Amino acid sequence: MSSPTALSPQPAPRSYEVRTFGCQMNVHDSERITGLLEAAGYVPAAGAEPDLVVFNTCAVRENADNKLYGNLGQLVPAKKRNKDLQIAVGGCLAQKDQDTILQKAPWVDVVFGTHNIGSLPTLLERARHNDEAQIEILESLEVFPSTLPTKRDSAYSGWVSISVGCNNTCTFCIVPSLRGKEKDRRPGDVLAEVRALVEQGAVEVTLLGQNVNSYGVEFGDRGAFAKLLRACGGIEGLERVRFTSPHPAAFTDDVIDAMAETPNVMPQLHMPLQSGSDRVLKEMRRSYRSTKFLGILDKVRARIPDAAITTDIIVGFPGETEEDFQATLDVVAASRFASAYTFQYSVRPGTPAGEMADQVPKAVVQERFERLVALQDRIAAEENRAVVGRQVELLVTAEQGRKSGQTHRLSGRARDQRLVHFAVPEGAETPRPGDFVTVTVTGAAAYHLVADPRGPQDYAVRRSRAGDAWDRQEAASCGVPAAPGAAGSRPVDLGMPSLPVR
């Protein structure tokens, strides 16, 4: 009788790490990349040195290329230690620079673009087999990203992409050339994804697109976005609906009506201003003017009095004069934004603005930027102080404030998306991420609110399906099976990407 043949040990699965730079679209793309890798057999590195590092890049933020090449340079020693380590670069900067990445960082194994995320596992395998770098950049969308596997970051909240690309021609923006023309998903596909998220435990979704309120133009229905919001209102178990980002030029009254009349659409609106100067807006090719912008805000507040409105502003666009900048300050003062994302203009190669004369000196831009931030911080603090004494319902998040170790407070988001750090009274139930708490606001700063309950009337917990999903996800991530009979006892992979908490 022959002796039994010894079984060869199975090779350990390859581990990965995804590093994301840029906007919400990039964060959501990284969820797709992660889902693709795990479907292909990769496992998270979980603190150990990974076998694969994927950079999902941005070409819009300042110094995006320097940040990428700095990070790539830091991996050279690891590449020398581990000949099997692979490095992949994708996203907007990869779409823009293509061959330049391998010229500057020849130790990179794979370069892929914004239109072919789904090719990454194949390109990695091909690079290993051929022992040479692989570049694949498509000029049009290969497959709508939402059809790809996805691993969400948390169990209670998730992005749902309704469109990709952009049909606008803003002179400061390179996104249309990198993401392509707008492509809209069919409403049924969007709603099916939302329902799937809710069935697995999510209670909040954020509809995502470069210009969400132009959704439907591709298939001939200019009212499609308002209809989509109303349809989300009919999904049982979906408690919070948000969206980002609309464009003021295409923002119509039917969307305001849908927001006001659909209970689970939250009283929050992100409306990019960019500049308060009509002359600068024209140079930016932003097809609205300050009067129209302020009129939108008036209409929203007339229908939704408690709406918190946020914005984006660029300081120092080419040719911006002190008079132009003062117009921006005037619109900010009139708008009373809850918060603002403020940016100093910097040249983006490949954009019309990058070729304009009259680039504003850096020192002037910095001084104007500081004045704008000071004004907006004062307004935000005043608006937040107006909330002190009110009861607010929070969706508890997994993120914690920078001082949570000292204060022992947890964090949550109010219906209007304000960040609230809250204390749990002694002896009271501690909520899980995904649960809801009702608290009374006791303090305010420019970037957050505080709720330190003084008694039982100031604190209540409502456990939710999302909290249950969080428990299952945590158990699965630790290798512990969900409780017997628990609904959906498979791993749950839903959620909103982590956001910085201030």
How far apart are alpha carbons 58 and 179 in whole angstroms? 11
pLDDT > 60? residue 144: no
Domain 15-136, CATH homologous superfamily name and number: Methylthiotransferase, N-terminal domain (3.40.50.12160)
Model confidence at 500, in pLDDT bands (50, 70, 90)? very low
Crossing angle of the two packed helices 120-130 and 24-39, in degrees rounded to 10: 60
DSSP states along 7-65: PPPPPPPPEEEEEE-SSHHHHHHHHHHHHHHHHTT-EE-TTSPPSEEEEEE-SSSTTHH
Higher per-residue pLDDT: 46 or 372: 372
How far apart are alpha carbons 316 and 120 in whole angstroms? 38
Report the sign of the C-alpha dihedral through residues 149, 151, 157, 161, in that order. negative
pLDDT > 90? residue 286: yes
For residue 213, give the 3-state DSSP assignment: helix
User: In Å, how far are 73, 151, 317, 424 from 207, measured between CA atoms?
Assistant: 36, 17, 30, 32
Each domain of the chain, given as residue ranges in start order, spans 15-136, 145-385, 391-477
Are 318 and 358 in contact by the 8 Å Cβ rule? The answer is yes
92 among the known binding-site residues?
yes
Nearest alpha carbon to residue 53 among 67, 62, 66, 42: 42
Tokens standing for residue 81: 């230690």
Tokens standing for residue 283: 């140079």
Q: Are strands 410-414 and 419-422 parallel, antiparallel or unpaired?
A: antiparallel
Average pLDDT, stretch 352-362?
92
478 among the known binding-site residues?
no
DSSP states along 215-230: TTTTTT-TTHHHHHHH
Tokens standing for residue 166: 């952009």
Topology at the third CATH level for domain 145-385: pyruvate-formate lyase- activating enzyme (3.80.30)
How far apart are alpha carbons 183 and 224 in whole angstroms? 14
Topology at the third CATH level for domain 391-477: OB fold (Dihydrolipoamide Acetyltransferase, E2P) (2.40.50)
pLDDT > 50? residue 487: no
pLDDT > 80? residue 51: yes
Whether the bond into 245 is cis, omega within 30 of 0: yes
Tokens standing for residue 234: 């009919």
Average pLDDT, stretch 384-391?
96
Strands in 410-414's sheet, in edge-to-edge order, are 443-444, 449-451, 419-422, 410-414, 391-396, 436-440, 459-462
Q: Are strands 339-344 and 419-422 parallel, antiparallel or unpaired?
A: unpaired
Model confidence at 137, in pLDDT bands (50, 70, 90)? confident
Model confidence at 48, in pLDDT bands (50, 70, 90)? confident
Lowest mean pLDDT: which of 63-67, 195-199, 249-253, 433-437?
63-67
Average pLDDT, stretch 402-425?
89
Average pLDDT, stretch 254-267?
98
In the chain, pLDDT over 70 holds for what percent of residues? 88
Same fold, 15-136 and 145-385: no
How far apart are alpha carbons 293 and 98 in whole angstroms? 38
What does the mean pLDDT of the chain come to? 86
Are 12 and 41 in contact by the 8 Å Cβ rule? The answer is no
Model confidence at 62, in pLDDT bands (50, 70, 90)? low
Residue 290 one-letter amino acid: S
Tokens standing for residue 386: 């107006």
232 among the known binding-site residues?
no
pLDDT > 60? residue 145: no
Average pLDDT, stretch 274-299?
97
Model confidence at 153, in pLDDT bands (50, 70, 90)? low
Average pLDDT, stretch 335-357?
90
pLDDT digits 0-9 by tens, 92-129: 888 888 778 888 999 999 998 877 788 888 889 888 88
The pTM of this model reads 0.76
pLDDT of amino acid 493? 31
